[in-house]
């Protein structure tokens, strides 16, 4: 604690982001560690690989639809961060409460949300989870223990603290997991939600996706700590920082956090370090991001890393992994076609489910 108190704040940069030449150390990829299997079977490893690939192929196809003007809402890429969504969601039990944010399409896929529902949702069709009223991931799915995202950053944290409390009051052994970005950690709700979970000793796993930027704000303008995991001790809770491009490290850390929560050890703050390799959303060409930092993170691609691991460990051949990608691309092409042929909502749908007492 005294080390934290003694540390003086780094002197603020004088230039704006575009003029910046120095790359903050916290934005560079962490030292490369070899991937380690935390005891998963070959089938389970290949399952995780399939979800990572599904996440990427799906987002590639959504991006193509956006460029064709067929998706008119926001589209938020998780390129290079798929390992965080997939690794965390795979480490939970099916009944654990999971609240994704807008870059966590991979978590929804792991929970079994069909790619067709996701295409329909982004294309705002009548058969979509929100019947065409929202064009991103703002929906829940109680049957899959999924709590919907909230656009106001940080707000999901107290909601998930409440969900964990409700589960405990009902005598259910359920962990609650949600995500927040590096920028979202600056909100009051981050503090209030995490502190309340700490005080009540609730099984909350808060995953911080530290991806270098919050829109155009780089991490050194957002906080002065080296790692957001340093905030854990301030709340009196466990915390950990992992390389978010290593799906197995993310999985293992989430499992440790979930086990701690289930065993009465309270919440965990889990920082996953990665990089937002595309703009904030598809409309943003991220002119403010130095290209060499993007190139450095491209070398840390989570799927390339995991595929090399699977081949080196003899779990798959390069050919096997290529077929997974080709088959998924063909499958999703067909799914996208089906969604494009699906009708838009009729006008009377507009007010349905909007006001209390309506049908
Ligand atoms: C409380 C609040 N402030 C501002 C916004 C507008 N906003 C939406 S996303 C975003 C950037 C979020 O950055 P970060 O938390 O790092 O997540 P990332 O986009 O990098 O995944 C901002 C400022 C918001 N939705 N909620
Ligand atoms: Mg961010």
Tell me the ligand closest to 79's alpha carbon: 1
Q: Is the pLDDT reported for residue 9 higher than 80?
A: no
Lowest mean per-residue pLDDT among 5-19, 183-197, 216-230 = 5-19
Output the six-digit token pair for 265.
């050890």
**358: confidence class by pLDDT, cuts 50, 70, 90:** low
Q: With contact defined as beta carbons under 8 Å apart, do 22 and 13 qualify?
A: yes
What's the rounded mean pLDDT across residues 193-202? 98
pLDDT at 2: 41
Ligand nearest to the CA of 181: 1
Q: Are 103 and 76 in contact, with CB atoms under 8 Å apart? A: yes
Distances (CA, A) of 319 to 310, 315, 322: 12, 12, 5
Q: Rounded mean pLDDT of 215-244?
A: 96
**Chain segment 287-345, per-residue pLDDT in tens:** 999 999 999 999 999 999 999 999 999 999 999 999 999 999 999 999 999 999 999 99
Q: How many angstroms does the Cα of residue 316 sit away from the middle of ligand 2?
A: 33
Cα 224–226–231 angle (5° rounding)? Answer: 80
Instruction: Taking residues 145-166, report their average pLDDT.
Output: 98
Question: pLDDT: is 95 or 23 the higher one?
Answer: 95
Residues 6+ apart with CB under 8 A from 137: 100, 101, 102, 104, 105, 108, 118, 121, 148, 149
Say if ligand 1 is within 6 A of residue 214 CB.
yes
Q: Which of 130, 119, 128, 191 is nearest to 157 (CA)?
A: 191
Question: What pLDDT does residue 355 have?
Answer: 87
Mean pLDDT (whole number) for 76-104: 98
| 303/294 Cα distance (integer angstroms) | 16
What domains lie within the chain, and their CATH numbers?
Answer: 36-342 (3.40.50.970)
Residue-level pLDDT at 23 = 78
Which protein residue's CA is at the shortest distance from atom 12 of ligand 1? 214
pLDDT value for 89: 99
- Across residues 211-238, what is the average pLDDT? 96
pLDDT at 180 over 80: yes
Residue 1's pLDDT band (cuts 50, 70, 90): very low
Distance 127 CA to ligand 2 centre (A): 32
| pLDDT over 60 (residue 249) | yes
pLDDT in tens, 10-26: 443 444 444 455 777 77
CA-based nearest residue to 281, from 122, 120, 51: 122
How do residues 269-278 score in pLDDT, each as one tens digit? 999 999 999 9
Look at residue 15 in the predicted model and tell me its pLDDT: 47
Residue 176 has pLDDT above 50, yes or no: yes
pLDDT at 11: 41
Rounded Cα distance, 249 and 104, in Å: 18
Instruction: Return the pLDDT at 21.
Output: 53
Percent of the chain clearing pLDDT 70 (strictly above):
94
Is residue 263 over pLDDT 70?
yes
DSSP annotation string for 4-70: HHHPPPPPPPSS-GGG--SPPGGGSPPPP------S--HHHHHHHHHHHHHHHHHHHHHHHHHHTT-
Test site for ligand 1: of 179, 214, 284, most ligand atoms within 8 A of the Cβ: 214
Q: Between these two residues, 221 and 358, which has the higher pLDDT value?
A: 221
Does position 128 have pLDDT exceeding 50, yes or no?
yes
Locate 354 and state its tokens: 């909007």
């Amino acid at each position: 604690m005294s080390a934290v108190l003694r540390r003086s704040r780094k002197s603020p940069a004088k230039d704006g982001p575009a003029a910046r030449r120095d790359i903050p150390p916290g934005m560079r990829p962490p030292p490369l560690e070899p991937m380690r299997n935390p005891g998963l079977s070959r089938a389970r490893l290949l399952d995780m690989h399939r979800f990572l690939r599904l996440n990427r192929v799906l987002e590639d196809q959504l991006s193509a639809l956006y460029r064709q003007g067929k998706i008119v809402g926001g589209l938020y890429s998780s390129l290079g961060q798929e390992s965080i969504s997939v690794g965390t969601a795979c480490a939970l039990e099916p009944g654990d409460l999971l609240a994704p944010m807008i870059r966590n399409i991979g978590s929804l896929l792991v929970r079994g949300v069909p790619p067709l529902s996701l295409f329909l949702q982004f294309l705002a069709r009548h058969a979509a989870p929100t019947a065409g009223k929202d064009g991103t991931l703002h929906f829940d799915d109680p049957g899959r223990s999924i709590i919907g995202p909230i656009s106001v950053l940080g707000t999901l944290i107290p909601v998930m603290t409440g969900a964990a409390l409700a589960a405990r009051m009902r005598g259910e052994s359920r962990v609650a997991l949600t995500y927040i970005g590096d920028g979202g950690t600056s909100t009051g709700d981050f503090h209030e939600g995490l502190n309340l979970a700490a005080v009540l000793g609730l099984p909350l796993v808060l995953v911080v996706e530290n991806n270098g930027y919050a829109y155009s704000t780089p991490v050194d303008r957002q906080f002065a700590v080296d790692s957001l995991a340093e905030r854990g001790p301030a709340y009196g809770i466990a915390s950990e920082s992992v390389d978010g491009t290593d799906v197995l490290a993310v999985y293992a850390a989430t499992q440790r956090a979930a086990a701690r929560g289930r065993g009465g050890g309270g919440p965990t703050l889990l920082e996953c370090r990665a990089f937002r390799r595309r703009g904030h959303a598809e409309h943003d060409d991220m002119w403010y991001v130095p290209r060499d930092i993007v190139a450095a993170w491209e070398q840390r691609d989570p799927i390339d890393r995991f595929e090399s691991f699977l081949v080196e460990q003899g779990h798959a051949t390069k050919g096997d992994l290529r077929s997974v990608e080709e088959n998924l691309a063909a499958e999703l092409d067909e799914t996208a076609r089906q969604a494009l042929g699906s009708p838009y909502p009729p006008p009377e749908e507009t007010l349905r489910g909007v006001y209390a007492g309506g049908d």
